[in-house]
């Protein structure tokens, strides 16, 4: 019979389990973020060792996350299996990595249709299971208590205390129609996930001060911390630590500039650029209790540009500001509150000023005259242009030796043509993709000797001292890259110069 609605009464409209549970699978987790969410629970439980266990062969692959934390009682386990086992409004321990009380369930359901948890605390073992196929059939929120814990996979690996989370029916990670390729596909997915975990939990893996050291292993292989700031490299530039106070909470900021590609090995350059490259990985790296939750973004406060690709900023926030930062269920997204955005905008301006010069005058030269630039970089309004420097000593000396104005005009036209034909698009593409492989054209010893001698005589004639000339050439191309030849020429010309004095 039709439902009768009486004004003023309340009517229970409970969600249908079979429909809601399927919808919850599409919150937006990836394998990487799902594993990270379960690992959060292990860390919060005091685990020192966390193992990712995988059976990738056969027709029914499965995964598990095993920790040696303090475990759960039967009642605590049932509460943990409850959807929404805690409120985001609850006051949490300062080291707690949880948020909504949904992570274990939503993360697991996003990857599998059967979630089993086996746990031991105070010598007592408890287990519980969600099976989405059972929920679909019964259309009810019924948790199964397995009859035989010893039949559960990897049950013998459980320590005196700890928890084993088992994922079976991996329908999101396998393809029933391509079972012959599932093994390799799952292995690749796990390898990619391991790299993600090495980044997200790098401060725990490294045992950073105030972040307890943990070990994470994938089928026995120990994951190594990946510090996105390359903090320990001598060429990394680390800015001062700044603090922003919001109520009783504090947020800290620190800017880093990664080393230039000439300061690191090719392997290091590739690794720290990541699959997406330096341009995509620049920006803010937000940590919640030392755990990375979002990275590679300027939060819409700036554009990701080639000139700032080495800039990365570490932001540390406490869990007490989750609401203000709009931290999502997956702990993979956040937005800074207004008072923080104001400070971040100013910080970006500082980073930009240190990465590239601030230009104010129309047509102002953007390089120091003391470096003898062959190319001049000039800005006129919103355009940046490159042209050969007509005042370079070698260019100026050649112009003087030309016999007539016609020759000089022709030479200037050739120089302008070279500047106008500079292949900007190709240079940008090459430098963005493989900066270490982009180099200037090598010069012969004869050419270097001619250019060095000409430059020396022009500068000496303008009144510069020998020491000043040497200092200028030492940091200027092409002399810097050919310093042995240049130094010999300077010594020879210097002797002649003193003899003629």
DSSP string, 189-249: HHHHHHHHHHHHTHHHHTT-TTS---EEEETTEEP----TT-TTSTT-EE---EEEEETTE
> For the purposes of burial, counting CB atoms within 10 Å of the CB of 481, is it exposed (0-12), middle (13-18) or buried (19 or more)?
middle
Determine contact, residues 456/399, Cβ cutoff 8 Å: no
Number of H helices, E strands in the chain: 17, 15
Between CA 59 and CA 310 the distance in angstroms is 45
Radius of gyration, alpha carbons of the chain? 32
CATH architecture for segment(s) 237-355: 2-Layer Sandwich (3.30)
Pick the CATH number of 17-222 from 3.30.420.40, 3.40.50.460, 3.30.565.10, 3.90.550.10: 3.30.565.10
- pLDDT of 261 reads 87
Between CA 327 and CA 333 the distance in angstroms is 6
- pLDDT of 84 reads 67
Q: Can you read off the two tokens belonging to residue 479? A: 């002399």
pLDDT in tens, 473-482: 887 888 888 8
End-to-end CA distance of the chain: 117
Between CA 434 and CA 390 the distance in angstroms is 31
- Distances, alpha carbon 469 to alpha carbons 365, 450, 453, 474, 476, in Å: 21, 16, 11, 9, 11
- pTM greater than 0.75 (yes/no): no
Q: Phi/psi of residue 52, each to 5°?
A: -100, 120
Contacts of 325 by beta carbon, 8 Å cutoff, 6+ apart: 286, 317, 334, 335, 336, 337
- pLDDT of 175 reads 62
- pLDDT of 91 reads 52
Tell me the domain boundaries of the chain.
17-222, 237-355, 369-434+441-500
Highest mean pLDDT among 90-99, 172-181, 191-200, 203-212: 191-200
383 versus 157: which is more confidently predicted? 157
Tell me which residue has tokens 């509150």: 337
pLDDT in tens, 34-60: 999 999 999 999 999 999 999 998 788
191 versus 86: which is more confidently predicted? 191
């Amino acid at each position: 019979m039709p439902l009768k609605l009486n004004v003023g009464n309340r009517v229970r409209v409970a969600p249908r389990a079979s429909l809601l549970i399927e919808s919850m699978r599409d919150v937006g987790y990836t394998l990487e973020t799902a594993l990270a969410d379960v690992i959060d629970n292990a860390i919060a439980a005091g685990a020192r060792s966390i193992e990712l266990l995988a059976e990738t062969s056969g027709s029914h692959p499965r995964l598990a996350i095993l920790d040696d934390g303090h475990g759960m009682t039967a009642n605590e386990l049932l509460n943990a299996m409850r959807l929404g086992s805690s409120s985001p409004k609850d006051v949490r321990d300062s080291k707690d990595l949880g948020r909504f009380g949904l992570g274990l369930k939503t993360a697991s359901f996003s990857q599998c249709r059967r979630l089993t948890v086996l746990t031991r605390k105070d010598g007592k073992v408890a287990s519980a299971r969600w099976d989405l196929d059972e929920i679909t059939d019964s259309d009810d929120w019924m948790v199964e208590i397995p009859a035989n814990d010893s039949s559960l996979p990897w049950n013998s690996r459980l320590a005196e205390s700890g928890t084993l989370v088992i994922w079976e029916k991996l329908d999101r990670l396998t393809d029933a129609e391509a079972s012959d390729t599932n093994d390799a596909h799952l292995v690749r997915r796990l390898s990619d996930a391991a790299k993600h975990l090495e980044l997200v939990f790098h401060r725990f893996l490294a045992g950073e001060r105030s972040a307890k050291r943990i070990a994470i292993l994938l089928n026995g292989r120990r994951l190594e911390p990946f510090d996105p700031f390359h903090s320990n490299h001598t060429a990394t530039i680390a800015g001062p630590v700044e603090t922003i106070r919001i109520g009783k909470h504090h947020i800290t900021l620190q800017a880093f500039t990664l080393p230039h590609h000439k300061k690191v090995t090719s392997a290091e350059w590739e690794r720290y650029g990541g699959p997406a490259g330096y341009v995509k990985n620049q920006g803010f790296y937000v940590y919640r209790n030392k755990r990375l939750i979002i990275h590679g973004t300027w939060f819409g406060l700036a554009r990701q540009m080639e000139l700032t690709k080495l800039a990365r900023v570490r932001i540390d926030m406490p869990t007490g500001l989750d609401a203000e930062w709009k931290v999502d269920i997956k702990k993979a997204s956040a937005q800074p509150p207004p008072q923080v955005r104001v400070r971040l905008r100013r910080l970006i301006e500082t980073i930009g000023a240190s990465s590239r010069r601030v230009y104010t005058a129309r047509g102002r030269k953007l390089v120091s005259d003391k470096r003898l630039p062959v190319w001049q970089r000039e800005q006129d309004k919103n355009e940046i242009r490159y042209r050969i420097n007509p005042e370079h000593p070698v260019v100026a000396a050649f112009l003087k030796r030309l016999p007539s104005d016609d020759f000089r005009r022709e030479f200037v036209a050739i120089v302008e043509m070279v500047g106008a034909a500079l292949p900007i698009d190709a240079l940008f593409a090459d430098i963005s993709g493989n900066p270490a492989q982009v180099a200037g054209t090598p010069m012969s010893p004869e050419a270097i000797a001619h250019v060095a001698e000409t430059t020396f005589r022009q500068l000496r004639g303008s009144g510069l001292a020998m020491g000043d000339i040497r200092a200028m050439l030492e940091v200027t191309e092409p002399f810097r890259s050919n310093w042995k030849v240049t130094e010999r020429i300077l010594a020879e010309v210097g002797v002649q110069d003193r003899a003629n004095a």
